[in-house]
Structure 1
């Protein structure tokens, strides 16, 4: 199985000065494409301290110059691996556009106030689900999970505020490199990667932060 990509060339001159602005350009185009079901779906890859990797699909919930944010149970496999080894990779697989974005960097937990604000914005059922599921743990059956959810639904009916689980919260991936991949025919793809040369971009950005762009062979 093979497909010839016929797309527009991506050159360094086309890129925004820094990667978040370029990501915003592509993300807007992705959101507008009806062929892409969940444009904010990304593959999060983590690893244990001895290098054993694991990957799963997670939804991006926020991004800005400080990084890319998703939410999880900190006791889950990815949460435990990130606590022990903060290096992480994100992959946005936008196949209908023959595009990918790959982010590599370090993970850090976001502030509790930010986590609470996001949790309050979630549907009531999703809030209950965060309590019901001991994410990544072995359970006996789906019936056990549904029974746990039923108990929580009875304890916190729809008009009741659900407390935020203490082990649940946000992860921000602070990028040190962001690659933009555009597919082309004959496997002559464009791969342009921003590499951070300044310090980590904290709240509001770092005045001394600079990015260089390099082209990678496909």
Structure 2
């Protein structure tokens, strides 16, 4: 993993905040090393991974993986709905849906997608925008097999059938039977993945991180934009990611 200096962000924080707020911002966006001139900042997807892990530990009640997704319909109007994400990596962010759904149809017609995460208890938010493309059937099946059985039943047969199946397997005799099957080496019947179920990967072009330092403090917003117009490493003051260069912008809002 590689990254370069983001000196402008550090200078902005020195000018606008107190020493305590500076330390808070540094903890959010950087790795501490010997001197201020050589502070190295994580790539934006790594920052998002760290924030997501923190939200899952500190505020699980807000369902941190649940995002407001915005797509564009045929008339060019924005459409929003709640979507749960799965994997976050240097390649992008994956999410899954019914391929015949309105959401899938809008993505197929216009791949520009935006995700917004709001973690109010932590006073943090993240906006991620980019292009979404469908995953292969093998990738979708791999994710489907990772889900617990009751989630697979929900995807395949709907909530009522999944609830009934869960109740039938949660009783005392059902648990005894399950243990006997395990002891005898019998595995549960495999649930086939529906043919109309699949996934997408969002390749980000923008990461926007927002946070509040307190009730009376201003809001800090740091935006990373993927640079496609210049060769990698040729733009000063960028964050060099594994695949693309990222340029940054930061501001303090009252």
The answer, yes or no, to whether TM exceeds 0.5 is: yes
Stretches of structure 2 lacking an aligned partner (at least 5 in a row): 1-19, 31-40, 166-186, 230-239
Counterparts of residues 86-105 of structure 1 (less than 5 Å): 86-105=111-130
- Establish whether residue 78 from structure 1 lines up as the match of residue 103 from structure 2: yes
TM-superposition CA deviations, 1:164-200 (whole Å, max 9, x none): 112111111100000000124457211100000148x
- Report the CA distance between 1:161 and its aligned residue: 1.4
Identify the residue that residue 204 of structure 2 maps to in structure 1: 175
- Report the CA distance between 1:150 and its aligned residue: 7.3
The 1:180–1:13 alpha-carbon spacing in structure 2 relative to 1, beyond 3 Å, is closer
Stretches of structure 1 lacking an aligned partner (at least 5 in a row): 1-6, 134-144, 152-157, 200-204
**TM-score between the two structures when normalised by the length of structure 2:** 0.65
- Structure having the higher Rg: 2
Q: How many residues align?
A: 190
Other structure's SS at 1:162 match: coil
Query: CA-atom RMSD, angstroms?
Result: 3.0
- Establish whether residue 166 from structure 1 lines up as the match of residue 201 from structure 2: no
> Quick check: which one's helix share is greater?
2
- Report the CA distance between 1:65 and its aligned residue: 0.5
- Report the CA distance between 1:207 and its aligned residue: 5.7
Q: Is the 8 A contact 2:59 2:122 kept in 1?
A: no
- Establish whether residue 193 from structure 1 lines up as the match of residue 223 from structure 2: yes
- Establish whether residue 48 from structure 1 lines up as the match of residue 48 from structure 2: no
**Hey, what's the Cα distance between the residues in 1 that align with 2:147 and 2:50?**
27
**Hey, what's the Cα distance between the residues in 1 that align with 2:21 and 2:61?**
19
Q: Is the 8 A contact 2:43 2:241 kept in 1?
A: no
- Report the CA distance between 1:159 and its aligned residue: 2.2
Q: Is the 8 A contact 1:89 1:103 kept in 2?
A: yes
- Report the CA distance between 1:97 and its aligned residue: 0.6
The 1:64–1:216 alpha-carbon spacing in structure 2 relative to 1, beyond 3 Å, is same
**Hey, what's the Cα distance between the residues in 2 that align with 1:183 and 1:49?**
37
Identify the residue that residue 14 of structure 1 maps to in structure 2: 29
**Hey, what's the Cα distance between the residues in 2 that align with 1:74 and 1:11?**
42
Q: Is the 8 A contact 2:150 2:162 kept in 1?
A: no
Farther off after superposition, 71-80 or 33-42: 33-42
**Hey, what's the Cα distance between the residues in 1 that align with 2:148 and 2:252?**
44
